[in-house]
């Protein structure tokens, strides 16, 4: 019973429409898929209407958060939120703020690159985004590809879009404790996404994950393409120590990433435990 709990659509920085994601999930042989676009629930309705017979959809989102790094500083973490009420006022307002900030920040990055002679048109980058959608660096990577400046999204990140690059513009993300509380208030459950994905930038220490567990975090995403085997073992042991649930997911982004849907999966009993804790939105059965 393959279960993949982390996938993006064109409502954020994936390339499949929500309906296409459902079709791709069926084609990949999945029984359960979660839609987890960054900072939006805009794809839920279309995805829900397109769940193939026999499949289940877990509505969710991925929230960009700022967290203590456990070493005296801060770093970015991603929080997967499932089965929350998307109309919860505080959450709705914060997601709307994050989308606006993402768009402003994407435009600034495009402007910086255009000013340096890169073949990107900030207006065109923004015009291609659906209204009120959360723009992200993959959209700028696509523009750089169209302009012939890079050959792949990965190359764009490695050369120009990483946090160390002079073209990178930071965002003001939600404090992670606040985000956990907001999702809990909306009846949802939270799982820390790819906590030890070092290639993306600085990561939190184990003590921070313990603090998040105390705050109400339900699980950690252990099996993720950006975690190598020793990292998975370390996280699995930590999850056991902290009584956290363990998930596995592809973090599918369509053609913006090379991972396949269902490349990593979650055990059915872990999904059952997450569903049992949630009350903000129903699982959608096809």
Does 194 bind ligand AMP (CB under 6 A)? Our answer is no
Q: What ranges make up the beta strands (E) of 40-156? A: 56-68, 74-82
Residue 227 interaction partner, one of ligand AMP, Zn ion, Fe ion, none, beta carbon < 5-8 Å per kind: none
Q: Interface mask (CB under 6 A) for ligand AMP, residues 23-62, using x and -?
A: ---------------x------------------------
Q: Rule CB under 5 A: is residue 47 a binding residue for Fe ion?
A: no
Rule CB under 5 A: is residue 78 a binding residue for Fe ion?
yes
Q: Which phi and psi angles does 259 have, rounded to 5°? A: -70, 150
235-273 residues labelled b (16+ CB within 10 A) or e (exposed):
beebbeebebbbbbbbbbbbebbebebbbbbbeeebbee
**Minimum CB–partner distance for residue 65 and ligand AMP (Å):** 12
Is the Cβ of residue 39 or residue 85 nearer to ligand AMP in the bound state?
Answer: 39
Which residues, in sequence order, are bridge partners of residue 285? 56
Q: Does 62 bind Zn ion (CB under 5 A)?
A: yes
Residue 91 has which token pair? 């959450």
The yes or no reply on residue 138 touching ligand AMP (CB under 6 A) is yes
Helix (H) or strand (E) holding 105: helix 89-115
| Structure tokens belonging to residue 100 | 């606006």
Indicate whether 141 belongs to the interface with Fe ion (CB under 5 A): no
Provide φ and ψ at 281, rounded to 5°: -155, 150
For residues 61 and 58, what is the distance between their CA atoms, to the nearest angstrom?
A: 10
Which residue from 57, 110, 193, 235 is in contact with Fe ion, where contact means CB under 5 A? 193
Task: Candidates 13, 37, 173, 223: give the one binding ligand AMP (CB under 6 A).
Answer: 13
Distance, CA of 60 to CA of 47 (rounded, Å): 11
Query: What distance separates the 2 farthest-apart alpha carbons in the chain?
Result: 53
Collapsed DSSP state (helix, strand, coil) of residue 150: coil
Binding partner selected for residue 85 from Zn ion, ligand AMP, Fe ion, none, CB under the kind-specific 5 to 8 Å limit: none
Applying the rule CB under 5 A, the residues between 236 and 275 that interact with Zn ion are: 251
Q: Which of 4, 13, 221, 264 binds Fe ion (CB under 5 A)?
A: 13
* 39 touches Zn ion (CB under 5 A): no
Please report whether residue 227 would count as binding ligand AMP according to CB under 6 A: no
Q: Which of 132, 154, 241, 272 binds ligand AMP (CB under 6 A)?
A: 154
**Rounded-to-integer distance, Cα 283 and Cα 111, Å:** 41
Q: Does 136 bind ligand AMP (CB under 6 A)?
A: yes
Query: What is the distance of C-alpha 218 from the center of its chain?
Result: 16
- Site for Zn ion, rule CB under 5 A: 62, 251
- Site for ligand AMP, rule CB under 6 A: 13, 38, 136-138, 153-154, 157, 200, 253, 256-257
């Amino acid at each position: 019973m393959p279960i993949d709990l982390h996938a993006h659509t064109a409502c954020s920085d994936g390339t499949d429409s929500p309906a296409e994601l459902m079709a791709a999930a069926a084609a990949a042989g999945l029984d359960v898929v979660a839609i987890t676009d960054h900072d939006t629930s805009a794809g839920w309705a279309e995805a829900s209407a397109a769940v193939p017979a026999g499949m289940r959809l877990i509505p969710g989102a991925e929230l960009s958060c700022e967290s203590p790094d456990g070493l005296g500083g801060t770093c970015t973490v991603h929080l997967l939120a499932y089965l929350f009420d998307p109309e919860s006022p505080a959450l709705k307002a914060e997601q709307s703020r994050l989308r606006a900030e993402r768009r402003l920040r994407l435009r600034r990055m495009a402007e910086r690159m255009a000013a340096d002679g890169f073949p990107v048109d900030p207006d065109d980058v923004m015009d291609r985004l659906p209204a009120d959608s959360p723009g992200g660096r993959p959209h700028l990577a696509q523009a750089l590809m169209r302009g012939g400046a890079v050959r792949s999204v990965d190359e764009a990140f490695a050369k120009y879009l990483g946090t160390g690059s002079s073209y990178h513009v930071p965002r003001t993300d939600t404090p992670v404790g606040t985000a956990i509380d907001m999702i809990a208030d909306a009846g949802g459950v939270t799982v820390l996404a790819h906590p030890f994905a070092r290639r993306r930038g600085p990561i939190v220490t184990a003590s921070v994950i313990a603090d998040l567990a105390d705050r109400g975090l339900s699980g950690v995403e252990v099996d993720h393409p950006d975690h190598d085997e020793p990292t998975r073992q370390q996280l699995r042991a930590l999850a056991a120590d902290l009584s956290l649930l363990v998930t596995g997911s592809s973090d599918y982004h369509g053609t913006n990433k090379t991972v396949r849907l269902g490349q990593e999966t979650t055990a059915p009993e872990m999904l059952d435990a997450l569903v049992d804790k949630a009350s903000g939105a129903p699982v959608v059965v096809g």
